[in-house]
Structure 1
Amino acid sequence: MTSARKDPSALISEDDREEAVRRLREAYAQEHVSHEEMDARLDQLLAARTHDELAAALDGLPGEVPDTPPTIAAAGGRIKRRGAWRVPRTLKVASAYGKVRLDLSRAVIEHPVVDIELRLGTGGATITVPRDAIVDVEDLSTGWKDLRYKPPGRSRPGGVRIRFSGVMGFGRLRIRHAWR
């Protein structure tokens, strides 16, 4: 939860409250708190108005373990994702020798920002992003060949922001926007 970085006396948002309830449920599911303790803490969470009150309700729960981002990897061969696949908030794509084809145009993207870290050796990669996506390639390092990406003339506000980072070895990376 990010409330540790916020002003303790500031009012909480519904997102903060939902995140705290999720964390309490996970602690209960892992048997860190009893049923009675969960009920008491849940009452505290629902009545909390500030980050201090929220932190008091979560006090003593195990700390959150940072999630390791999902990785799509192959030493050789192809990596291919298309259709209605669910795109996580952070994704790593690693390939030593093969071709990579990611089509995000029909994918289920539930986050306003998606970070994709590429670790590619030889072989090329083609990534299709949604038509209204905003693409950021500032943190991407290409080795031998240049990146092929042409931003659209006009972008519509409200599109998902896709940030690419990582390293491309000897292959070419092509990023394009979907037609529809």
Structure 2
Amino acid sequence: MRVTDEQLAAAGDALGQLLERKQRMMVTAESCTGGWVAKILTDRAGSSAYTEGGLVTYSNAAKQAVLGVAEDTLLQHGAVSEPVVREMVAGALRLTGADVAVAISGVAGPGGGSEAKPVGTVWFAWGTGEDQTQACLQHFQGDRDEVRRQAVLFVLEGVARFVETL
């Protein structure tokens, strides 16, 4: 699926308006998307009303040092896993005090994939705390740019559905 800049902008605008209406501040903890979600959120004028910040923790060392992801979690499950994205959400919330956090970790390609986690495998989590965090796994098709675009759109739309319930 080819995701356009217009689709990303529309999804970012919709989420931004929703966060603003609900008076919620959001933080992103991104790996394979490299800050793209935060970029989309802050493209909209007035985004400081709903964007607390964005953290790009690409390496395992950064996930540990910045977000407090446990070394054991990374060793047991790998960076692209549900336990890691859940810990990324918890760390981002703890670090910033935001109301809502999103975490993304995946294999965008073209290399780095494995039989268990092929290119296009992306784990997501979003939530407001340990008991209010949802995680899901998606498998996207395409080249590096296409995988990343699909991941950004997926998370913008998913977080919007989540925030709607708050």
User: TM-score surpassing 0.5?
Assistant: no
Point out the structure with max Rg over C-alpha.
1
Q: TM-score w.r.t. structure 1 length? A: 0.23
Higher helix share: 2
Of the two structures, which has the highest relative contact order with CA contacts closer than 8 Å and spacing of 6 or more? 2
- TM-score under structure 2 length normalisation: 0.25
